[in-house]
Structure 1
Amino acid sequence: MKENTKTTSSRFQFFVRWNSNSLVIHASRKDTVESLLKKLSSKTKIPIKELRLIYKGKQLQVEQNLGECGIENDETLQLLGYLRSTQCPQLWGATEFIASLILKLCRGENANDPFKFIQSHFRSYMKKSEYFDVFMFMKIPSLLVELYMSPNASNKSVADLLIKEFVQICLDLKCKEVQVFYLEALLQFCELLREVGCKCDDLLYVFCRNGFATLLANVGGVTAFRNYSKWRVLFHGIFFCVCETLEVLLSYLDLSMSYPTSEGLSCSVVWAFVKFSTPLRNGIAEKQPAFGEYENGICYEEDPSIAGVVDQFRNVFIQLLTKMDECFQVMENCLVNKEQREGGGDVIHNGQSHYLLILKELYHISKLYSGAEVMFWGVLLRRKSVLSQLIVRFADKKDNHRWVLENMCVTDFESRRHLAMTLFPDLRHELLGYEMLIGRSDVLAESFEYISRAKPTSLEGGLFMAFKNEVATGPGVLREWFVLVCKEIFNPKNALFVACPNDQRRFFPNAASKVHPLHLKYFSFSGRMIALALKSKVQVGIYFDRVFFKQLAGNYITLEDIRDADPIMYRSCKQILEMNADYIDSDELGLTFSIEVEELGHRKVIELCPGGESLVVGSKNREKYVDLLIQNRFVTSISRQVSHFAAGFTDIISGSRLEFFRYLELEDLDWMLHGSENAISVEDWKAHTKYNGYKENDRRITWFWEIVGRMSAEQKKVLLFFWTSVKHLPVEGFRGLGSRLFICKSSKSDNHLPSSHTCFYELCFPKYSSRAIMQDRLRIITQEHMSCSFGTL
């Protein structure tokens, strides 16, 4: 009897789903839908006129009773709300219908092409600023995720496509203000998918997370939503993504230490971390006080809600820096053991190509915390050799490596040179090149005409030149031309540059160069020539003085910088600064803030500052006097010359001229422009030489190296120049030439002199019948005046 009572009783229970919660309702079958809505209104605090009940995909009418609606015991109804007072009733109605349609699919009921219908709905309404609130109010994200978790493969596929479509439309929206609101929706998709068990190996979850990161970048990061009411939710959501991607990144780094990983894997893993770390650190940086007087440089009191994130983000920095240190330690061990391993692969592989990107991000994070910069640079200083090899192997012009400029001591010459050289444009193969025919007797003037009138784009290709009345062409002749032209540019007789009294090898612009009417154009030409020589990796045998180098780098000139350029002024200034205060205040020196200079045969007074002629130098203003004196002598007086040189240099590079010189130390530029100062090593020479027609143990080869070994240093340089058109070896020695040298057998008789193919670094000589004959022939070609024009290519 109880069973009959249960089935026929007018009292029963059912569930009403609302905002991802289920309400248990006890009611009579005679109760009306309207009475039920009143109960629900009191629970939800939403006016009854704005509520709707959905059962089996149909909206229940208020005048019906529950029995007439066919509601069974323990059934589930969906409660939806929509605002009749809104100005967009159509939008609310359409979104309600979409929610009902998704619920219908979740129950396993069929629908006609739901993807196309809902896709059309998204495309029609998402661009409206009001849609976001409706979308979130109707719990569309949770409904779509529920559909995605459906055991029905078709439903899962529809949900997958719809969520991806929603993300893509968010990214394509033109209005950034609207995109800011949709950040919350994309974050919610990520959180809902995580709640149902989707992790980093789920493609839809990764797609949503990447979409969240991209949308974050599109709107300008955390800065864009700092006035948004739910910015703290988004802020913590970003941090969760940082931690999640960090976990994957640390695992990848462990893997990269064990065996080579693919470059594609490293790219995706690292960028996933950086996409979230970058906006988070930018957001934290905005909370820093002006003077960093708070703990760790962060003002917790300003906004306590981010304090936890700030602390934990510092732990992220420490974890990742520690892991990078471990990676570098493994690489160092491999480098040490490399010579002992037979048949081993590269110590540095493509999977490590994004190590530099990780270091760059760590550099930026280190700026947020007290002591973090010391930790960061300390690791890189310990791992200098590995860092330098990574830079040489992977740093390219696609990324910005200016962060290295802050602490150049963590790099070596090869890595600094590499960074500077990335600022030159790549050779454009489609260009035919720029052709020149130049006479040796007037090499400076004719080269000036060719290079000065060329458009910068014409010089981006190869340079092709020949000397008049000579058949030789090719790279060897080009190298010789660079050396000859630069020798003339810096010849003091041409009045463009002057040599330092304390070091005659070093030059800086001549303030009196205006004696030549075209002097500024010649400085532009000089800038182009030096840049072209650097680009072509030709050592031209020139040194810049420190005052010139620092001006090209945009740095300030100090007293110590002028030591070589003007030793007399240097000593005088030192004496003034060290002089007894009473003595200098007595005006015994008779100094004022003015100087007398000679210009074109006339003497004139120049004031170092307004009213300087009447301003006496004393103990309180002598530092200023010395500084103004130096700036006038080495900056103001040659500013136009330096400016035109810099402009000519900039014509050739694709990056910043200032950045180029700031990547380098003065010694680096010395090595790049002049080459090695070391005596030529015959053993190194032999180690980088191969033979064609001869064998290494041939007696003529033995004679040759014995003769070379007894040559003077100058003779060796002349022989090298004759052989290769290289007068100054790179700092790395013969290894830096980039190619082996060759000794080839000539079929000519032994009364012929050796010849050379400088393009291919080939020296050719006959099968000399005696050591004495060979020595005599080599003596002839190693005379300075005989060393040119023997090359046949």
Structure 2
Amino acid sequence: MARKTFTGTLQYPQAWNLIGDILYDIHVMCKARILICIKSRLTRFLTMTPKDTNNAASYLATFVSSGAPEALVKLYKVRAYDFIRYFITSSKDELRKPIYNELFAPLVLEFCKLLRKAVTQDDALYIFCRASLGSMLNKTGIISVQDIFPFVDELATKLSQGSVSSRESIGPSLTHLLEFNNFLRFMMNAVVDPKALDTLVPMRYYQKRPWYDHRQLGYLYSLYLILMANLQTRLTEMVDDIEVIRSVKQDGGWDQYLPILKQLHYISQLYEGAEETFWTILRPNKSALCHLVIRYAKKGDEQYNWILNHKDLTDFESRRHLVMMLVPKVTHDYDNGHKMRINRPNLLAESFQSINGADPSSLCDPLSIVFTNEEEATGNGVLREWFMLVCQAIFNPQNALFLACPTDRRRFFPNPASEVNPLHLEYFRFAGRVIALALVHKMHVGIVFGRAFFLQLAGIHVSLEDIKDADPYLYSSCRQILEMDPCVVDQDVLGLTFTWEVDELGSKRVVELLPDGEQISVNSINRNLYIDLIIEHQFVTSISQQVSQFSEGFVDIVGNEENKNLFFKSLEHEDLDRMLCGSESEISVDDWKAHTQYNRYKETDLQIDWFWKIVGEMSVEQRKALLFFWTSVKYLPVEGFCGLDLRLCITKSDETCDRLPSSHTCFYQLRIPAYPSMDVMKQRLNIIADEHVGCGFGI
């Protein structure tokens, strides 16, 4: 073959001649089987690319027009010389960034098309080219959606393959998922017109909607149905083998199902009725979804609002896992952590000054608490006690900030008359910070919120049923009004108008619930409105400033208002109870024993046998007191002892037998002397359990 020279009126004659040299070299290499390096020619072609976008586009097009890609693919197939990878990789360095991002994709697409016909889908060069194309798609506007259909088909098939059963733990690879996401994102951006993003598309109406390309929409919907059917099979397999899967340490590719589901949910929102079908398919596979969330949902750029907005498809563990990703993680920066020295008699005031005066970001570093006038000790044990004591003080009704619910004295809601404390609003902001910090540091404080207070934090309307725990008398009265015979109500036997009497610091004040409310009688038609306005005034309007300041304190810690709203809205009321208060179950001695280890004692020693027999005979309150003395944990996590951050330990003490046991609460270590008899040990332990030696931080 003679070396070709391109002359005449062709644009970019140097480029055409250079390509001619490349084609000649390839021909010689194929025929003569001699290796001639053409890398320098490929590099030179790239460096000669014009700097302006318009000329660069037509210049790069000459590479495809000349048939160079076909020649390079033929060379690769015959001799496996990988000049294509070199050409694509070099382009990133040799071309200006705008030109590479916007204009080089058609060349890569050409290589993908040619290789797809010439080699298998598992060929390394083909996979490289396809991945390169996917990474460029969302930066270029000169690739048609139809051109990428074959590659999306391939990747969809890859993602649909595999099994999650105990017999064959194989799932989609991260590489395939990332590729698929790149292609799918490009597809959805091209398919959905920005003007019509809020429009659901019925399948039968594609051709009646001029702003859509119905072929593209039809393809995307078909792809959605195929992937959804395959994912349904995979999730059903997971449900069938969920216990086995939970015990397996290897991922088995399951970590990619959650991102795939997110993409499918996004697609489902484009089509009329598709989202409802999406959730219908997931509902029987709730346990699989929860497992995926708990095991694979990670904090970062990934957003999980699509799951959080469907609480019926999650359980407590998965909801807690997701909302905790909305709050900051405690750092390990002990040097810059927030340090407090607190005098117990002034615990509330000194804690208020320290926490409210601190930079919120420093509070997410390790907190260091020292109680003054005591043997200095720091660590998790002291921190747990401080959280419990400061929350008890904040929510103590005697401090006028919060009121306890009459039906459950652990539940609290803001006191409408809290202004008796001149600093009440600052203290509510402080309370919001403390509760957020307790959640961030995973501390159980033994305090829970009234339902109406929780709903306000979540931005949810408060109804009559929601005030039942906070004001059972008002609830009962309102219920009676609603249930009375309409004829009796219309006879004005109640003598009610749209007014409400408020007690303000011992004096009475009448509030009109509507303009001229004193002139409007309550009747059978408007009684529902009357009840709603009473609830609005008592549990929303009258405490709006307090709730607002509490929210701002919470936002100080979690970072922004959106995170705060999503945090509360994504939880059930009972979920927050369990996160703040821990388990309400009685302490299980068997669970306690199973999570305890021994130091200088053996499990078979008499003292250990006596200890567990004594604990087994204790009352519920005695066990709580002993546990608190041992660990400074008063409220176990909902998971029981396995939810603690450390295993408990019983250590043989060198103290004489006339001494009480001691503890290192930071390390969950109980030190017990080698008592000579069970009676002596019982007498010593009962002193701790009955006289509450563990009520303060003790060692």
Q: What range describes the TM-score normalised by the shorter chain of this pair?
A: 0.7 to 0.9
Q: Offset at 1:556?
A: 2.2
Name the CA shift for 1:159/1:775 in 2 (closer, same or farther; >3 Å).
closer
Q: Offset at 1:725?
A: 0.5
Secondary structure of 1:604's partner?
A: strand
Q: Which residue of 2 aligns with 1:191?
A: 113
- Between 1:514-523 and 1:390-399, the stretch displaced more is 390-399
Q: Which residue of 1 aligns with 2:348?
A: 444
Name the CA shift for 1:744/1:285 in 2 (closer, same or farther; >3 Å).
same
Q: Offset at 1:142?
A: 6.2
List per-residue Cα deviations over 1:85-123 (Å, max 9, x = no partner). xxxxxxx5566556555555555599894223211222x
List per-residue Cα deviations over 1:281-317 (Å, max 9, x = no partner). 4554549979978644863422598434434433433
Instruction: Determine the C-alpha separation between the residues in 2 that align with 1:308 and 1:257.
Output: 40
Q: 1:413 aligns with which of 316, 319, 340?
A: 316
Provide TM-score, normalisation by structure 2.
0.88
- Between 1:776-785 and 1:201-210, the stretch displaced more is 201-210
Q: What is the aligned residue count?
A: 685
Instruction: Determine the C-alpha separation between the residues in 1 that align with 2:124 and 2:65.
Output: 17
List per-residue Cα deviations over 1:710-767 (Å, max 9, x = no partner). 2111111111111110111111111111322122211222211111111111111212
Q: Which residue of 2 aligns with 1:757?
A: 664
Q: Which residue of 1 aligns with 2:33?
A: none
Q: 1:162 aligns with which of 82, 87, 103?
A: 87
Instruction: Determine the C-alpha separation between the residues in 2 that align with 1:187 and 1:302.
Output: 30
Q: Offset at 1:275?
A: 1.8
Q: Which residue of 1 aligns with 2:230?
A: 323
Q: 1:217 aligns with which of 131, 138, 147?
A: 138
Q: 1:236 aligns with which of 143, 146, 167?
A: 146
| Residues 333-732 of structure 1 aligned to structure 2 (within 5 Å) | 333-337=240-244, 346=248, 349=251, 351-398=253-300, 399-432=302-335, 433-471=337-375, 472-581=377-486, 584=489, 589-610=494-515, 612-615=517-520, 617-654=522-559, 656-732=563-639
Q: Offset at 1:649?
A: 1.7
Amino acid corresponding to residue 120 of structure 1 in structure 2: T
Q: Is the 8 A contact 2:91 2:100 kept in 1?
A: no
Instruction: Determine the C-alpha separation between the residues in 2 that align with 1:569 and 1:649.
Output: 30
Name the CA shift for 1:104/1:592 in 2 (closer, same or farther; >3 Å).
farther
Q: 1:277 aligns with which of 184, 187, 199?
A: 184
Amino acid corresponding to residue 395 of structure 2 in structure 1: F
Q: Which residue of 2 aligns with 1:20?
A: none
Secondary structure of 1:505's partner?
A: strand
Q: Which runs of 5+ in 2 are unaligned?
A: 30-35
Q: Is the 8 A contact 1:593 1:608 kept in 2?
A: yes
Secondary structure of 1:595's partner?
A: strand
Q: Is the 8 A contact 2:166 2:244 kept in 1?
A: no
Q: Which residue of 1 aligns with 2:646?
A: 739
Compare CA radii of gyration and give the structure with the larger one.
Answer: 1
List per-residue Cα deviations over 1:353-392 (Å, max 9, x = no partner). 2221112112222323455434433443333333223222
Secondary structure of 1:691's partner?
A: strand
Q: Is the 8 A contact 1:164 1:207 kept in 2?
A: no
Q: Which residue of 1 aligns with 2:70?
A: 146
Amino acid corresponding to residue 637 of structure 2 in structure 1: P
Q: Is the 8 A contact 2:387 2:445 kept in 1?
A: yes
Q: Is the 8 A contact 2:70 2:114 kept in 1?
A: no
Instruction: Determine the C-alpha separation between the residues in 1 that align with 2:197 and 2:494.
Output: 46
Instruction: Determine the C-alpha separation between the residues in 2 that align with 1:268 and 1:492.
Output: 58
Secondary structure of 2:503's partner?
A: strand
Amino acid corresponding to residue 731 of structure 1 in structure 2: V
The sequence identity of aligned pairs, in percent, is 42
List per-residue Cα deviations over 1:237-267 (Å, max 9, x = no partner). 343332121122223x3489765569xx822
Instruction: Determine the C-alpha separation between the residues in 1 that align with 2:193 and 2:461.
Output: 31
Secondary structure of 1:641's partner?
A: helix
Name the CA shift for 1:145/1:201 in 2 (closer, same or farther; >3 Å).
farther
Q: Which runs of 5+ in 1 are unaligned?
A: 1-53, 61-79, 83-91, 220-224, 340-344
Q: Is the 8 A contact 1:266 1:353 kept in 2?
A: no
Q: Is the 8 A contact 1:105 1:147 kept in 2?
A: no
Name the CA shift for 1:245/1:529 in 2 (closer, same or farther; >3 Å).
same
Provide TM-score, normalisation by structure 1.
0.78
Q: Is the 8 A contact 2:664 2:670 kept in 1?
A: yes
Q: Which residue of 2 aligns with 1:788?
A: 695
Name the CA shift for 1:193/1:338 in 2 (closer, same or farther; >3 Å).
closer
Secondary structure of 1:151's partner?
A: helix
| Residues 111-126 of structure 1 aligned to structure 2 (within 5 Å) | 113-122=40-49, 124-125=50-51
Instruction: Determine the C-alpha separation between the residues in 2 that align with 1:421 and 1:58.
Output: 66
Q: Is the 8 A contact 2:657 2:674 kept in 1?
A: yes
Name the CA shift for 1:554/1:544 in 2 (closer, same or farther; >3 Å).
same
Q: Is the 8 A contact 1:287 1:302 kept in 2?
A: no
Q: Offset at 1:519?
A: 0.9
